[in-house]
Amino acid sequence: MGEDLKEIKERLPLLDYLQQQNWTARPAGHGLEFVGLCPLHPETRPSFYVNAHKNLFYCHGCGQGGDLIRFVELSQHLSFRQSLTYLEQHSPPPDAALLGQAAAFYQRQLDRYPEARRYLEQRGLHDPALIEEWQIGYAPGGSLRRHLLAQGYSFDLLQRTGLVNPRGHDALYQRVIFPCCQDGRIVNLYGRSTGGAFAHRFLPGSKGGLFAWESVRHFPTVILVEGLFDLASLWQAGFRHATCSLGTHLTLNQFRQLCDRPRTVYLALDVDVNGSGQQAAQELAHRLRTEGITPRRVLLPPGHDPHSFFVQGGDARQFQSLLEGAPL
Ligand SMILES: [Zn+2]
């Protein structure tokens, strides 16, 4: 057991795990310490610290702390032993065929639940061709498990993939679903809550490569945004050379994709009040430069991301001038 524990924690560093769960953070002081909003309790000011060197977390808000296993116990409401099982099953590559089936199922639900279309509309995503192209779906909750069991998939596999939670319920419910791909295969599903639940949710495992990368990679100039609604706004405004990292930080794989040829990358990351987006953009620009990429930072009006820029009346011409004025 002791050896297994060590191996799990080495294979899956706490920080990686948190980032896969879409936790966003900024460096705290020097060394390998990061701070962000606590995933374990509601808060508006970041008090959740992760020491990547020690592989430990501590929250000054709720007083919880510990290692990866402890975090899984608390966040997934599992026992110590269940958490180990959960983590052992966390890394193997997902069953692409199964995820494809789940994505297709969710896609069919989109038209059966008007609230899902309404949600997309409210978020400014209104182009039916784009909704189709991205295979956007809806998880109403409570019906996927039955559907997949009827297709012959085992309950065990559904649990291991994370589509069904340890209690046997659909893990994604009342969420708009975006399939995430890697090299043309679906490797994860991103669920955006349409209600009050925690906004962002992935299945366990890698969040995949840069979004829609297959259709963007041939451009010599690329715009990088953080969120899918940012990306949708840009595509709908005609900026089809935009891609999305699904979070403030790029995974190593996403970073490599961006650097797979010499190109100019416009960083249109969120300008948030605590400055973590700006700091992330600066660090990313530096890393890109060392790889021979020309980074340019798009200066959005304070408090804006590309999505809010367009929703609040910005148009393609105005965004184009932001691109042209973007400093190196
Ligand atoms: Zn906390």
For residue 142, which of 185, 174, 110, 115 has the smallest C-alpha distance? 174
CA of 64 to the centre of ligand 1 (A): 6
Q: How far apart are CA 157 and CA 99, in angstroms?
A: 11
pLDDT for residue 93? 62
Instruction: Please name every residue paired with 185 in a beta bridge, in sequence order, or none if there are none.
Output: 182
Distances (CA, A) of 212 to 69, 170, 209, 216, 241: 33, 26, 8, 7, 10
Q: Distances in Å between the alpha carbon of 52 and those of 7, 10, 47, 67? A: 16, 11, 16, 10
- Ligand 1 center to 65 CA (angstroms): 9
CA of 68 to the centre of ligand 1 (A): 15
* 15 Cα: distance to centroid of ligand 1 (angstroms): 16
User: How close is the Cα of 18 to the center of ligand 1, in Å?
Assistant: 14
CA of 73 to the centre of ligand 1 (A): 14
Model pLDDT, residue 274: 63
Q: How far, in Å, from the CA of 71 to the mean position of ligand 1?
A: 11
**Centre of ligand 1 from the C-alpha of residue 67, in Å:** 14
The Å distance, Cα 34 to ligand 1 centre, comes to: 14
pLDDT of residue 7: 65
The closest alpha carbon to 307, from 209, 215, 192, 181, belongs to: 192
Q: Note the pLDDT of residue 6.
A: 72
Residue 286 Cα to ligand 1 middle (Å): 32
> How far apart are alpha carbons 284 and 164 in whole angstroms?
35
- 58 Cα–ligand 1 center, Å: 8
User: Could you tell me the distance, in angstroms and rounded to a whole number, from the CA of residue 63 to the centre of ligand 1?
Assistant: 6
24 CA to middle of ligand 1, Å?
14
Tokens (6 digits) for 167: 């209690």
Q: How far is the CA of 26 from the centre of ligand 1 (A)?
A: 16
pTM given for the model: 0.72
Q: What is the CA(51)–ligand 1 centre distance, in A?
A: 15
Give me ligand 1 centre to Cα 42, in Å: 7
Centre a 10 Å sphere on the Cβ of residue 61 and count the other Cβ atoms it contains: 15
DSSP 8-state assignment for residue 263: -
Residue 158 Cα to ligand 1 midpoint, Å, equals 30
Mean pLDDT by 10 residues, the chain (328 residues): 64 78 80 89 94 92 96 93 78 78 97 95 95 97 94 86 86 95 89 86 85 95 95 97 88 87 92 69 90 93 90 95 93
Contact predicate 238/316, CB 8 Å? yes
Measured in Å, residue 43 CA sits from the centre of ligand 1 at 8
If you measure from the C-alpha of residue 195 to the centroid of ligand 1, how many angstroms do you get, rounded to a whole number?
22
Please tell me the predicted confidence (pLDDT) of residue 276.
Answer: 65
Please compute, for residue 4, the number of CA atoms within 13 A of its CA located in the half-sphere on the CB side.
10
